């Protein structure tokens, strides 16, 4: 889906360190990564390898020790414009109703009340939650809350979507269903996505490129272009022989080093 | 429907099952009747009613005080001191807590002194306040403020430290301004803590106002209690205590109402 060779987001020689209780932890080291305009890139890796940290750098919430991230060639300094993050937990405001949560980015932008409401309702319909506008997050299932979080990010309408294991805590069935919906919505807007997951199948089914990270300190270990035609059937694509082959290769990369090489 | 399922889901807490309203209130009524009945029966039989008075005498006294205007005269004074002091102390303490949470290292300098002041038996300040402000209402209000401000401060401060960092980060990624964060995340997050401190502080406020009245005043329920004590009028003392309890219960119910309104989302 990438339109041209211009990198929307580029990460150069990124190194991130945490200092906690007098000890230095290198979370990321020498990370080099490009996401082209309209490209869907997934990052897979064991937990604790720095995937969330990578996204925090791109949102400007975290300062790198060296190297950096660039959007359209501009270095990231503070929270950049037009970058939307879907957090690992859904980060919904528990004291606001579903529709108020979805309106949040529009309210911050200062859009007129009526427009906010109209847009929020449209998006709730898009994610299949029309009847739930006045519910509080506590009253929804995990899958529904994820959809609200997605709708909120859609409301912000960013150029780059950063998604941190957005379907992580869902059961297999819901995961497939939401993945399918998300893929359909993404194919209609075609924005750049940096997608974090630990699910290889999910990564292949969604992405143009899958990046494998090593355990801590996180480095990029391998990269796999996914040449499966779009639009893709999110679930049925798993039975494609190309998919199977990719799955095998990526799995080999991930388990290699972690447990001394399995094949 | 959603309302019902929410309730059911909540009833799995350690408080156990949810009971019907009727059974709760009937039970409360039964306990009340039993206790006051026992008091009424035993007073004058098992012990001399001079020492412990009895419910019927107290009820008579309340009616009599209602008639001659004494009731409202004393009750309104205590209520005013408690409510005004509570309001000043809550606002002051809460703002202090929020401010200190934002103050960086300044908080580390101040905090131990706040806790040292907190450990002081503050009721012993009443005589000092009366020296400063006389026996009018301002010394009582100051006493109430001294009683409530620490809990208000502490709860607001802890509430600030317990704000979900992910929510603040989320707001940042949407480029929210400071005022947005305050209104959408900070204040709603600490509302629970503030309401808890108001509830704890109702009792504190009444202790403050009554103690200060006991020490020196010419009005209020504390004054009425000391006055009755000087007259060896135990019925008067108990009447004062019952009226204080009534104020506490009424204020508590008001806060519960507010809680139900503000914490609907839970
Ligand atoms: N705020 C922090 N302070 C100290 N160490 C941290 C902090 N955040 C993350 N880390 C460490 O950095 C590493 C990467 O964390 P994270 O990016 O959350 O991993 P992932 O998302 O891949 O599971 C982990 O080892 C974690 O312990
Ligand atoms: Mg993570």
In this prediction the ipTM stands at 0.87
Query: Is residue B187's pLDDT more than 60?
Result: yes
Q: Whose CA is nearest to atom 24 of ligand 1?
A: A48
What are the domain boundaries of chain B?
A: 55-262
Tens digit of each residue's pLDDT (9 = 90 or more) over B128-183: 999 999 988 999 999 999 999 999 999 999 999 999 999 999 999 999 999 999 99
The reported pLDDT for the residue numbered A24 is 87
The reported pLDDT for the residue numbered A152 is 95
Asked if the Cβ–Cβ distance from B265 to A96 is below 8 Å, we say yes
Ligand 1 atom with the smallest distance to the CA of A165 is: 21
What spacing in Å lies between the alpha carbon of A94 and ligand 2's midpoint? 22
Tens digit of each residue's pLDDT (9 = 90 or more) over B77-103: 999 999 999 999 999 999 999 999 888
The reported pLDDT for the residue numbered A263 is 40
Ligand 1 neighbourhood includes A229 CB (under 6 angstroms): no
Q: What class is the B55-262 domain?
A: mainly alpha
The reported pLDDT for the residue numbered B188 is 94
pLDDT band at B212 (very low <50, low <70, confident <90, very high): very high
The reported pLDDT for the residue numbered B7 is 46
Is B214 an interface residue toward A (CB < 8 Å)?
A: no
Asked if the Cβ–Cβ distance from A138 to B173 is below 8 Å, we say no
What spacing in Å lies between the alpha carbon of B84 and ligand 2's midpoint? 49
Is B173 an interface residue toward A (CB < 8 Å)?
A: yes
What spacing in Å lies between the alpha carbon of A88 and ligand 2's midpoint? 7
Residues of B in contact with A108 (CB under 8 A): 171, 174-177, 180
pTM, two decimal places: 0.81
Residues (pLDDT < 70) of chain A are: 1-5, 257-263
What spacing in Å lies between the alpha carbon of A25 and ligand 1's midpoint? 9
CB atoms within 10 A of CB B193: 21
The reported pLDDT for the residue numbered B8 is 47
Q: Which ligand is nearest to the CA of A87?
A: 2
What spacing in Å lies between the alpha carbon of A202 and ligand 1's midpoint? 23
Asked if the Cβ–Cβ distance from B184 to A83 is below 8 Å, we say no
Q: Which ligand is nearest to the CA of A50?
A: 1
Ligand 1 neighbourhood includes A163 CB (under 6 angstroms): no
SS3 sequence of chain B: CHHHHHHHHHCCCCCCCCCCHHHHHHHHHHHHHHHHHHHHHHECCCECHHHHCCHHHHHHHHHHHHHHCHHHHHHHHHHHHHHHHHHHHHHHHHHHHHHHHCCCHHHHHHHHHHHHHHHCCHHHHHHHHHHHHCCCHHHHHHHHHHHHHHHHHHHHHHHHHCCCHHHHHHHHHCCCCHHHHHHHHHHHHHHHHHHHHHHHHHHHHHHHHHHHHHHCCCCCHHHHHHHHHHCCCHHHHHHHHHHHHHHHHHHHHHHHHHHHHHCCCC
Instruction: Return residues with CB closer than 5 A to ligand 2 (ion).
Output: A 52
Candidate of A46, A50, A65, A88 to mutate for ligand 1, largest count of ligand atoms within 8 Å of Cβ? A50
Asked if the Cβ–Cβ distance from A104 to B175 is below 8 Å, we say no
Ligand 1 atom with the smallest distance to the CA of A88 is: 21
Q: Looking at chain A, how many residues does it have? A: 263
pLDDT band at B49 (very low <50, low <70, confident <90, very high): confident
Tens digit of each residue's pLDDT (9 = 90 or more) over B107-130: 899 889 988 888 889 888 999 999
The reported pLDDT for the residue numbered B146 is 95
Q: Whose CA is nearest to atom 3 of ligand 1?
A: A18
CB atoms within 10 A of CB A246: 21
The reported pLDDT for the residue numbered B13 is 55
Ligand 1 neighbourhood includes A27 CB (under 6 angstroms): yes
Ligand 1 atom with the smallest distance to the CA of A213 is: 22
Q: Whose CA is nearest to atom 16 of ligand 1?
A: A50
Tens digit of each residue's pLDDT (9 = 90 or more) over B3-48: 444 444 444 556 667 888 899 999 999 999 999 999 999 998 888 8
Q: Which ligand is nearest to the CA of A21?
A: 1
The reported pLDDT for the residue numbered A136 is 95
Nearest-CB residue to B265 (from A61, A85, A94): A94
């Amino acid at each position: 889906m990438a339109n041209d060779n211009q990198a929307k987001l580029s990460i150069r020689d990124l190194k991130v360190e945490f200092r906690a209780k007098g000890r230095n932890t290198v979370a990321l080291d020498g990370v080099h990564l490009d996401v082209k305009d309209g490209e869907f890139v997934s990052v897979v890796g064991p937990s604790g390898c720095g995937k969330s940290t990578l996204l925090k750098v791109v949102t400007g919430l975290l300062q790198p020790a060296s190297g950096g991230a660039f959007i359209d060639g501009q270095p990231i300094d503070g929270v950049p414009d037009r970058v939307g993050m879907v957090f690992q937990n859904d980060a919904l405001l528990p004291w606001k109703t579903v529709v108020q949560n979805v309106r949040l980015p529009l309210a911050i932008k200062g859009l007129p009340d009526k427009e906010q409401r109209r847009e929020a309702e449209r998006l709730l319909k898009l994610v299949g939650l029309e009847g739930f506008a006045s519910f509080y997050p506590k009253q929804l299932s995990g899958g529904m809350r994820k959809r609200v979080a997605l709708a909120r990010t859609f409301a912000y309408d960013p150029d780059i979507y950063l998604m941190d294991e957005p379907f992580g805590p869902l059961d297999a069935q819901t995961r497939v269903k939401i993945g399918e919906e998300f893929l359909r919505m993404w194919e209609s807007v075609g924005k750049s996505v940096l997608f974090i997951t630990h699910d290889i199948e999910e990564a292949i089914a969604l992405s143009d490129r899958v990046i494998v990270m090593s355990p801590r300190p996180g480095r990029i270990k391998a990269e796999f272009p996914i040449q499966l035609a779009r639009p893709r059937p999110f679930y049925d694509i798993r039975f494609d022989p190309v998919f199977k082959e990719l799955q095998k290769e990526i799995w080999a990369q991930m388990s290699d080093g972690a447990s001394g090489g399995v094949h | 429907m959603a309302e019902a399922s929410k309730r059911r889901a909540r009833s799995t807490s350690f408080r156990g099952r949810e009971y019907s309203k009727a059974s709760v209130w009937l039970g409360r009524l039964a306990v009340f009747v039993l206790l006051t009945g026992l008091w009424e029966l035993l007073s004058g039989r098992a012990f001399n009613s001079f020492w412990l008075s009895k419910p019927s005498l107290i009820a008579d006294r309340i009616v009599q005080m209602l008639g001659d205007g004494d009731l409202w005269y004393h009750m309104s004074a205590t209520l005013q001191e408690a409510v005004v002091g509570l309001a000043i102390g809550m606002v002051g303490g809460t703002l202090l807590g929020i401010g200190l949470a934002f103050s960086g290292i300044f908080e580390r300098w101040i905090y131990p002194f706040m806790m040292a002041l907190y450990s002081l038996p503050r009721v012993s300040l009443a005589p000092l306040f009366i020296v400063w402000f006389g026996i009018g209402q301002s010394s009582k209000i100051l006493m109430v403020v001294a009683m409530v401000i620490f809990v208000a401060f502490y709860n607001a401060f802890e509430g600030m430290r317990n704000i979900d960092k992910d929510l603040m980060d989320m707001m940042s990624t949407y480029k929210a301004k400071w005022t947005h964060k305050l209104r959408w995340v900070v204040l709603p997050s600490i509302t629970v803590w503030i309401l808890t401190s108001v509830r704890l502080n109702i009792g504190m406020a009444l202790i403050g106002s009554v103690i200060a009245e006991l020490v020196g005043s010419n009005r209020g329920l504390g004054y009425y209690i000391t006055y009755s004590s000087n007259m060896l009028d135990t019925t008067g003392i108990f009447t004062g205590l019952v009226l204080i309890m009534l104020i506490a219960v009424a204020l508590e119910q008001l806060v519960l109402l507010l809680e139900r309104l503000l914490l609907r989302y839970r």
